[in-house]
């Protein structure tokens, strides 16, 4: 059921770039990415994790390349997965060149940290020759010394100056297949930097609150920061940075986009917090359904409400709905219409059946 959102977000118009076969910027969907935390030299473990990240709904994945052994491993990794690879490079220009040669679709670098101009030119040439994009990645924790001395501390203006400087380095070499990030672990600093930068360049922006923390605080910080930017139309690709399983980063990222009607992938569950009026155990039911429906990629809305106070109203706005009733008789709604009573013990199986049926119906039309 397609419900018109209360507010349509007008995204900032940006250039379109290519990261492998993925288009970023312009009117293309906002992409979700994560980063592996395996040793890149452990090829099979890294491939396994990338496949898990892909299955969770990521559009691209970043892989750290701290040494030659890692960039050598990248060749096998890139050829074994079905998602664009971003090679994470710091300082050593040869790692960037090797990554481009070994199948990376994007290089995450800070050109100002690469060194002399000759080295930067070699990296740019390798990127051009291998159809590799570049992300200019500026972090509050690793600003150039002169910029930090000028502004005394990390601030939005410092991050933006660093970003513009490094973008100019690439532009001067006629390289424009790039995106930019200006990240900080501080929500306000990140928001301020991205808002200022969005007024100065039209390249796609990769947004994130870096080093956000463990699952719960990191999810909250990222949601606050992303929400403030995305509601203003800022952001073309996102990464939620959590001290947790990268799969969780992807799930949170997708949920943030779904909450703003910026992405429609998988089952969107609307559920109540439960109270003494509930006709069945809402919390346990939702947890089980999240697991059993995690493989569904088709956009479907599902309401799980424990009583009739808000249940019928929510069910009227979703594809499938369950509203709690007395004596274990709960009501199933399909496309907002009351369909049949469902016993409490049968809720899980019935909802899974209806979601799978709806998914098949949508896919076949």
- The pLDDT value recorded for residue 118 is 86
Nearest to 187 by CA among 157, 228, 215, 232: 228
Location of structure tokens 């940075």: 241
**Number of Cβ atoms within 10 Å of the Cβ of 327:** 8
CA 314 vs CA 163, 168, 256, 286, 304: distances in Å: 45, 51, 20, 15, 9
Q: What is the pLDDT of residues 313-360, one digit of tens each?
A: 999 999 999 999 878 889 999 999 999 999 999 999 999 999 999 999
Confidence band, pLDDT 50/70/90 cuts, at residue 176 = very high
CB 40 within 8 A of CB 73: yes
Which of 218, 237, 307 is closest to 271 using CA atoms?
Answer: 307
Average pLDDT over residues 38-48: 98
The first and second tokens of residue 303, run together, are 């309401």
Measure Cα distances from 195 to 68, 225, 278 in Å.
37, 11, 44
CB burial of 214-246 (b: ≥16 within 10 Å; e: otherwise) equals: ebeebbebbbebbebbbebebbbbbbbbbebbb
The structure tokens listed for 157 are 């203006």
Positive/negative CA dihedral, 221, 223, 228, 234: positive
Report the helix count and the strand count for the chain, using DSSP H and E: 13, 15
- d(CA 248, CA 240) in angstroms, rounded, equals 9
Sheet with 85-88: strands ordered across: 178-183, 133-139, 106-109, 85-88, 60-64, 31-35, 237-239, 206-207
Residue 342 bridge partners (DSSP): 330
Q: What is the pLDDT of residue 141?
A: 86
Report yes or no: 86 and 105 within 8 Å, Cβ to Cβ.
yes
The single residue listed with the structure tokens 């040793």 is: 39
Which letter, b or e, does each residue of 130-166 get, where b requires 16 or more Cβ atoms within 10 Å of its Cβ? bebbbbbbbbbeebbeebbeebeebbbebbbbbbbbb
**How many CA atoms lie within 13 Å of 42's alpha carbon, on the beta-carbon side?**
9
Burial of 270 (0-12, 13-18, 19+ CB in 10 A): middle
Taking residues 68-95, report their average pLDDT. Answer: 95
Tokens read off for 224: 């606050």
Average pLDDT, the chain: 93
Judge contact between 315 and 339, C-beta under 8 A: no
Contacts of 146 (CB under 8 A, 6+ apart): none
CB 177 within 8 A of CB 17: yes
Contact 319, 300 (CB under 8 A): yes
**pLDDT tens digits along 282-319:** 999 999 999 999 889 999 999 999 999 999 999 999 99
User: pLDDT grade, residue 195 (50/70/90)?
Assistant: very high
Contacts of 1 (CB under 8 A, 6+ apart): 301, 317, 318, 319, 335, 336
Report all structural domains of the chain as residue ranges with CATH numbers, in order of start. 17-259 (3.20.20.20), 267-364 (3.30.413.10)
**Is the torsion defined by CA of 262, 55, 53, 266 positive or negative?**
positive
216-223: long-range contacts (C-beta < 8 A, 24 or more apart)? 218/242, 218/243, 218/244, 219/252, 221/187, 222/252, 222/256, 223/252, 223/256
In the predicted model, is pLDDT for residue 4 greater than 50? no
pLDDT, average across residues 221-228: 97
Provide the whole-model pTM: 0.90
């Amino acid at each position: 059921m397609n419900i018109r959102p209360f507010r349509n977000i007008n995204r900032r118009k940006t250039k379109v770039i290519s990261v492998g076969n993925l288009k970023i910027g312009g009117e293309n969907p906002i992409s979700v990415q994560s980063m592996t935390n395996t040793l890149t030299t452990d090829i099979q473990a890294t491939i396994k994790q990338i496949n898990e990240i892909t299955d969770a709904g990521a559009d691209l994945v970043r892989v750290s390349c701290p040494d030659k052994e890692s960039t050598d491993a990248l060749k096998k990794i890139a050829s074994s997965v079905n998602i664009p690879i971003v090679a994470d490079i710091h300082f050593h220009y040869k790692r960037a060149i090797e990554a481009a040669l070994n199948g990376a679709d994007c290089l995450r670098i800070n050109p100002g940290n690469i060194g002399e101009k000759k080295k930067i030119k070699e990296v740019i040439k390798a990127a051009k020759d291998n159809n590799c994009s570049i992300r200019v990645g500026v972090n509050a924790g690793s600003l150039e010394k002169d910029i930090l001395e000028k502004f005394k501390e990390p601030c939005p203006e410092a991050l933006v100056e660093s970003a513009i400087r490094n973008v100019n380095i690439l532009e001067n070499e006629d390289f424009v297949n790039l995106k930019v990030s200006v990240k900080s672990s501080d929500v306000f600093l990140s928001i301020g930097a991205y808002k200022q930068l969005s007024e100065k360049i039209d390249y796609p922006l990769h947004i994130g609150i870096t080093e956000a923390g463990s699952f719960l605080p990191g999810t909250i910080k990222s949601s606050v920061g992303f929400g403030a930017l995305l509601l203003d139309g800022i952001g073309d690709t996102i990464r939620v940075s959590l001290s947790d399983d990268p799969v969780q980063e992807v799930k949170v990222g997708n949920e943030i986009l779904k909450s703003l009607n910026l992405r429609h992938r998988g089952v969107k569950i609307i559920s109540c917090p439960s109270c003494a009026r509930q006709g069945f155990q809402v919390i346990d039911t939702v947890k089980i359904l999240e697991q059993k429906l995690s493989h569904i990629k088709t956009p479907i809305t599902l309401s799980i409400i424990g009583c009739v106070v808000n249940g019928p109203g929510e069910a009227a706005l979703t594809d499938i709905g369950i509203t709690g009733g007395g004596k274990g008789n709960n009501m199933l709604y399909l496309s907002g219409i009351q369909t049949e009573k469902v016993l409490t013990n049968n809720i899980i199986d019935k909802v899974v059946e209806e979601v799978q049926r709806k998914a098949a119906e949508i896919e076949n039309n």
